[in-house]
Amino acid sequence: MEEMVSLKKGSKIIKRAKANYEANESHWKVRGFSLVKENAKTNIAKTENIVKLKPKTTKKKKGKK
């Protein structure tokens, strides 16, 4: 089975064969993709630092008189 690599662009992550990536590395960089590090730690938000937002209030629209 071929070795796969993960490529990331913004929030989109795709998987491609390592041979394909190495052959077309400049193509992927021009398109904005970069390698995803498998050992990267994800950022976990602490619950004590989250600010709760008030719900939006909607005003009723009055018709023309």
The residues spanned by each domain of the chain are: 4-38
Cα-based angle 35, 40, 42 (whole degrees, multiple of 5)? 115
Across 42-61, average pLDDT: 69
Output the pTM of the full model.
Answer: 0.54
Whether 12 and 27 have beta carbons less than 8 Å apart is answered as no
pLDDT of residue 30: 94
**CB burial class (10 A; 0-12, 13-18, 19+) of residue 33?**
buried
Residue ranges of alpha helices (H) inside the chain are 18-23, 25-30
> Per-residue pLDDT for 31 more than 90?
yes
